[in-house]
Amino acid sequence: MKRATKISLVLAALCALAIAGIAGVKRNTADDGRASAPVVEFTPQDLYLVEPQPLDRTLPLTGTLTAFNEATVKAKVAGELQALSVREGEAVRRGQVVARIDPTEAQARVAARRADVEAARAQLDWARKNRDSQAALLAKGFIAQTAYDNVKSNFDVAAAKLRSAQAELVLAQKSLGDTVLESPIDGLVSQRLAQPGERIALDGKVITVVDLSRLQLEAAVPAAEIGRLKVGQTVAFRVDGYGDRSFAGRIDRINPATVAGSRSINVYAVIDNPEGVLRAGLFAQGAVSLDRVENALLVPATAVREETGQTHVYALAEGVIRRKPVRVGPADAEGRVPVLEGLEAGDRIVRFNLGALREGTAARLAGPQDTAAR
């Protein structure tokens, strides 16, 4: 009795599984009994309509802004720094006194050189009188020519010593003047490199002054691209810390030689900054404008895929997915690439990489319209 009951339960379970399998097959079959093909649905945001647009061809440039004019005020004489009247961020004018070095030693040298000049002048006066008297005796025949020549030689030596002493005095006076340090340019103090009371060595740095009215952007450009650049081209760039604000400059110089080891060439762009908005040392990202194409076919760079060395996009046409090989140019600052071959105006392509898509797969736009994508 128990054995018959077990057999009945097993048969009932097998029947249930068979019924469930039949039901599953029905859910995956069409009304006419054939298996339905998979359909890929896209939202309008997944697709991009290819249309002609103007394209400004540019070459990206990145670099650091530096002051076009910068000067470091150095000590031209050694001595104790008595005063330093400016600090970082303060404006200075050309010729403005910014520091003073103790002039005691320089004043002493001037006094010593002035005394040497007076002594040399006294010797010259004595030598001149002696020469004149000996010349009179020579004219009367009282002395030989040789004796006169010796006296005249002494006069010439005295005259040379006076000139040498006068030159030494000029140098000493210049050293005294060098104890007063002046700014060589208009600008802002960017660094104080010494403090009052310190003893400054010869050529010791005291302050650095930068002129922010003009800045310079130095950027390295690949040698293969340098032929597209020329002096005078416009450079547009943005700077960290200034949000979306854009600035403009122009190419001022192009280095005639490549940088050793990098095969790149430095390009220098000049930016007028009369209001001093920009600061030296900021990192800038921008591009130089090369030319303009009015009717370019631009697509998002995210739509372009590269597999096995071939570039392609996925397009929707007549309700199915088509794989279209394309040839594209370099991306612009907005992340768009120009399509040189493979697409036409009006084509609708997949905007993003949505995973593996198969050629010929049915597709449609999701939404109330429920129509095949075109």
Report domain extents, the chain.
Answer: 1-36, 39-55+294-365, 61-68+208-293, 78-192
The pLDDT, as a whole number, for residue 262 is: 80
What's the token pair of residue 339?
């399509």
Q: How many helices (H) and strands (E) does the chain have?
A: 3, 21
The pLDDT, as a whole number, for residue 7 is: 38
Question: How confident is the model over 155-194, as pLDDT tens digits?
Answer: 999 999 999 999 999 999 999 999 999 999 999 999 999 9
Q: Which residue is associated with the tokens 């520091």?
A: 99
Contact 99, 205 (CB under 8 A): no
Q: Which of 56, 55, 52, 57 is nearest to 344 (CA)?
A: 52
Dihedral sign, Cα of residue 170, residue 172, residue 175, residue 177: negative
Q: Which residue is associated with the tokens 């019924």?
A: 19
Query: SS3 of 46, please?
Result: helix
CA distance 47 to 235: 33
CATH 2.40.37.10 fits 39-55+294-365, yes or no: no
The pLDDT, as a whole number, for residue 240 is: 86
**23 exposure class (CB count in 10 Å sphere: 0-12, 13-18, 19+):** exposed
- The superfamily CATH assigns to domain 61-68+208-293 is Efflux pump adaptor protein, beta barrel domain (2.40.30.170)
Q: What is the DSSP letter of 196?
A: T
The pLDDT, as a whole number, for residue 334 is: 76
* Long-range contact set of residues 161-170: C-beta below 8 Å, sequence gap at least 24: 161/120, 161/123, 161/124, 162/117, 162/120, 162/121, 162/123, 162/124, 164/120, 165/113, 165/116, 165/117, 165/119, 165/120, 166/117, 166/120, 168/113, 168/116, 168/117, 169/110, 169/113, 169/114, 169/116, 169/117
Rg (CA), the chain: 44
Question: What 3 state SS string does 109-169 have?
Answer: HHHHHHHHHHHHHHHHHHHHHHHHHHHHHHHHCCCCHHHHHHHHHHHHHHHHHHHHHHHHH
Query: SS3 of 11, please?
Result: helix
Please report, in tens digits, the pLDDT of each residue of the chain (374 residues total): 444 444 344 334 434 333 333 333 233 334 444 445 578 888 888 899 998 888 877 888 899 999 999 999 999 999 999 999 999 999 999 999 999 999 999 999 999 999 999 999 999 999 999 999 999 999 988 889 999 999 999 999 999 999 999 999 999 999 999 999 999 999 999 999 999 999 999 999 999 999 999 999 999 998 888 888 999 999 999 998 888 899 999 999 999 998 888 889 999 999 999 888 999 999 999 888 887 788 888 899 888 988 877 888 988 888 888 888 999 887 776 788 889 888 888 888 888 887 778 888 888 877 654 443 43
Q: Which of 354, 345, 343 is nearest to 315 (CA)?
A: 343
The pLDDT, as a whole number, for residue 16 is: 39
